[in-house]
Amino acid sequence: MTTPERYNSKEVLCTYLETKNITLYAHGPVGTEPIGRQLMHHGSRTMVAYCKPWHWANITTEYAHHTHILVLRDPVEQHKHASFLHAMSMDQVQRKRENMFYATHLAPHLKTVSKGEFDFYIPFEKLHKYLDDEWQQPSPPAVETGQMFDLGEEIVAYEWLKQNKMELSVKQWNQLIIDGQLQGI
């Protein structure tokens, strides 16, 4: 039996990834780490950073020659995961403050990013199909820790995004990676 997942990061979670032709936003608790690792492994020049949701929404309007992609996760599942990490790591309050845990993991973001100028999303539950390595989705929380804020607006934004944006296919993703590498030459 494994121990429950805990928050133990020493750094701010990266929620933004940029290559020659792609920008990508992925909110916590996972962030851009698995995608960034794959792109760097393939030799793509990749920048990862923490980015606020409103900033990414602005980037999508300013970077006209990039394909902008949102990693879209069900807000209820995302919130359950983040609130579980929060509860299991209560002894890490100072670390969570310093690492912006609340902004990167718990803060509502979908209503804000939905205002961005982007066409594609990658469903979080299918993220492993876009990755070469053995990355596994986090296990569901071992216990329910409760809801920390009303998720109504997040759920409405999630449904709107699923209806009004296109799911990026794995084939399109692979082509974007190749195109970005060629532009970097």
Question: Which residue stretches of the chain have pLDDT < 50?
Answer: 1-2
pTM comes to: 0.90
Read off φ and ψ for residue 52, nearest 5 degrees. -70, 150
Other CB atoms within 10 Å distance of the CB of residue 77: 15
pLDDT at 129: 94
pLDDT at 8: 67
Query: What pLDDT, in 10s, does the model give residues 135-151?
Result: 887 776 667 777 778 89
pLDDT at 131: 92
DSSP state of 77: H
pLDDT at 179: 87
pLDDT at 59: 97
pLDDT at 142: 65
Cα–Cα distance measured from residue 16 to residue 115, given in angstroms and rounded to the nearest whole number: 16
Cα–Cα distance measured from residue 136 to residue 31, given in angstroms and rounded to the nearest whole number: 14
pLDDT at 1: 41
